[in-house]
Structure 1
Amino acid sequence: MSRERADWALLALTPGIGPVGVLRLIDTFGSAAAAASANLSQLQRCLGDEAARALAGRVATADVEAALTWADAPGCFLLTLADHDYPTALAEAGHAPPLLFGRGRRELLARPMLAMVGSRHATPQGRQTAEEFAHGLAEAGYTIVSGLASGIDGAAHRGALGTAASTIAVIGTGIDRVYPASHRQLAHQLAEDGLILSEFPLGTAPLAHNFPRRNRIIAGLSRGCLVVEANVNSGSLITARLAAEVGREVLAIPGSIHNPQARGCHRLIKDGAKLVETVDDVLDEIGRPAADAPVAASASPPAAESTATAMAETPLLVQLGHDPVDVDSLAARLELTAGEVYAMLLELELEGRVASLPGGRFQRLS
């Protein structure tokens, strides 16, 4: 098996071949071993000249040896298209990566999965929403798949960690690197209690063109793709498009019309994505993994009566509403001085009920 794994790694890690080229080689020669041992003239019949010479010359040998050594470490493994636990959904999605580096709970590959993606520059409310939805959906039985990026991705991973379904991070670097560096502790938690996947050779830097490739894996693994918060130029919309192209359900959470980080979600909804407001809305669209799986209520809106009571107790929150507001506007609404309003906001911020945003604005969290 180790020899077979080495042959798959050689095909997958040789520059210029790619997923389509690997499948062509397997189809032509019948196995990874036969393709790996083919001579140059045979390889040139199904590959470009440069890729054929690279494979015949075994230019990826060092990368293969590094991968095999890395996979011997505890919790680490290499997953190939020939393995019985390679996710069927990903294999059938097209351009499936022939080799994946994995670290963590391999058994998560057999669970139903849901992608959750969004802006790297998410608002505090967006991060809170992502974490609550991820926790509720993971409690319902879905393994949450995201990309370990800042913002919504990180919040989704944190929300799902600690549940049985947990979370999978598909990254755009070598699996031995953490990007962004601020997620080093989160990556450690994922390696212990979740799963990290990468198709890139060890040591691969966070190059911009790698992230769309990562996004296709996120989309292919998942039963659906939930976009929490995204601007119109967000890479999350690429993931949503890739999900739609392979027949996955696309869902989006609406936001304030004044929030630029919600406009990508609004565009998706205009284009046919399902508008969802609660965990139950998501489960109604994509199905429930188990009839008796509990659904956390934290992501659902509170009862109207309790909401009204909480707002009545805090006039500032009533005037703040759910859109970002600057101190001067709040002062005018409350007929108070800016200093008085700022002091009230500081107290609410310390209580975790509001968050400060760039530009001197504040947004309600509860």
Structure 2
Amino acid sequence: MSSVATHDSQAIALLCAPIAVGDAKPLTSSEWAKLASAIHASALERPGALVGLTASEVGDRLGVDRDVASRVASLLDRGGTLAFELERLEGRGIWIVARADDAYPDPLKRRLGLRAPAVLFGAGRREVVPGRGVAVVGSRDASAEALEFAEELGRSIAREGATVVSGAARGVDRTAMASATDAGGSAVGVVADSLVRLTQQPDIRAALADELLTLVTPYAPEARFSVGNAMGRNHLIYCLSDAAVVVATAAGSGGTWAGAIENLKAGWVPLWVWDSAAAPEGNRELLAHGGRPLDAPTVEALFSGQGGVHTVASDSPAAGVPKSAVPAAPVAALLPALERFLATPRTEMEVRKELGLAQGQARALLTRGVDSGWFVREGKPYRYVAAEGVAQPALFDAAQVG
């Protein structure tokens, strides 16, 4: 199975991937958690060591009953059919990542432990959340005022070089995600519907091709929508983020409310709630349950007083330094070189490599330059070029770019 990189990853995919299902049903997250504990407590230690064992050997090594051992052995024996299915999905742009892979989102393992999904399917770039993430969630049938707030918030998150994380549903979710990617920022959608069908939508395909969007799901890529799946993915949205904003919720019911309450109880990330006379009654109820009021679609306050700071790539000049702590002057000092480099159109990746920046830093710098009229973003995939005939003394003002 070329889609999964290690023996441990292959074993986890064989045991848990909800595709190419035969007589043996793949393990659920809770069943995998129990089996993983048994593996770690045994002499096998690693999931990959299970491959090739008979049912009786599985039972002897792990101390599990005959039915469990037989199911495990049967799942591990479906390598051929699973490989064909993964190849088919790969042809449609769908990848798989197991929790033993380096590409698996570390925040899920850190916050959920063995409750984290054993496998994720996805489309787009495999770096699920590059830098800081802000969950933006809300009703499918939000008001025009709520959608306007979500749109402005998505744009603001993109300007700060952070990532919008949401549920990819119509309404608040899609509005915030589209606003971020339209501004050149990044978005992540945690999907409860068919991942395959969603990737066929023209606007989604364009954002995936530009590597501005990643879609992930713990469910089968062609699974139909269900309320259970929608509820079950809520905790992933929060745990992939560093802060969360509820734009619109009903009081006491619905997926948005349930996810927000679950996050407040677990304490995964700070929860902010749109606070306005135009906000629905559910927002005021959520504030009474401990949400923090947010009356403007700005990002600065969202990360204050909590540990979800962005650590840049280890080979960056600012490695290990929170983004908010990077001095303004060194950032401004990069701009003359950037202006010269953008004499011809360049991609964001080219800018990152040239200046040694992390993705969030490069994106924030380029987005601010476009908003200020210093640079022009053109074509798809996006390329950036210095604007002609624009006086740019403010470009080198540290107070303006820090």
Q: Structure 2 length as normaliser, TM-score?
A: 0.64
Identity fraction in percent: 21
Tell me which of 148, 156, 178 is aligned to 1:128.
148
Amino acid at match of 1:184: Q
1:21 corresponds to 2:21: no
Distance 1:70 1:112, change over 3 A: farther
Query: How far has the Cα of 1:10 moved from its partner?
Result: 1.1
Provide the TM-score with structure 1 as the length reference. Answer: 0.69
Task: For residue 36 of structure 1, report the CA deviation from its aligned partner.
Answer: 4.3
Q: Does 1:40 align with 2:55?
A: yes
Task: Show structure 1 runs of 5+ residues with no match.
Answer: 298-366
Distance in 2 of aligned mates of 1:60 and 1:207: 27
The question of 1:82 aligning with 2:100 is answered: yes
CA contact (8 A) 1:16 1:50 kept: no
CA 275–48 in structure 1, closer or farther in 2 if over 3 Å, else same: farther
Distance 1:63 1:175 in 2: 20
Q: How does 1:1-366 map to 2 (within 5 A)?
A: 2=5, 4=7, 5-13=9-17, 15=25, 17-27=27-37, 28=39, 29-41=44-56, 43=58, 52-58=69-75, 64-70=82-88, 72-73=90-91, 76-94=94-112, 95-178=115-198, 184-192=201-209, 193-232=212-251, 233-244=253-264, 245-256=266-277, 262-278=280-296, 279=298, 280-284=300-304, 289=310, 290-291=323-324
Distance 1:132 1:51 in 2: 51
Specify every segment of 5 or more residues in structure 2 that has no aligned partner in the other structure, as ranges: 19-24, 311-322, 329-360, 369-402
What are the superposed Cα offsets for residues 129-166 of structure 1, whole Å, 9 maximum, x if unpaired?
10110110121122110011111011111111134541
Distance 1:155 1:285 in 2: 28
CA apart distance, 1:170: 0.6
Deviates more, 1:142-151 or 1:68-77: 68-77
Matched residue count: 291
SS in 1 for 2:198: coil
Deviations 1:212-231 (A, max 9, x none): 12112111111122100111
* Cα distance between partner residues in 2 of 1:288 and 1:135: 20
Tell me, in whole angstroms, the C-alpha distance in 1 between the residues paired with 2:98 and 2:178.
28
For residue 43 of structure 1, report the CA deviation from its aligned partner: 4.9
Correspondence for 2:350 = none
Q: Following the alignment from structure 2 to structure 1, what is the Cα–Cα distance between the partners of residues 197 and 81? A: 15
Instruction: Specify the code of the residue in structure 1 equivalent to 2:224.
Output: A
Provide the C-alpha distance between the structure 2 equivalents of 1:24 and 1:229, rounded to a whole number of angstroms.
Answer: 37
Partners of 1:63 and 1:202 within 8 A in 2: no
Q: Distance in 2 between matches of 1:63 and 1:218?
A: 31
Instruction: Give the deviation of 1:61 after TM superposition.
Output: 5.6
| CA root-mean-square deviation | 3.1
> CA–CA distance in 1 between the matches of 2:88 and 2:72?
22
Instruction: Sort the Cα spacing of 1:121 and 1:83 in 2 relative to 1 into closer, same or farther, 3 A.
Output: same
2:104 aligns to what SS in structure 1? coil
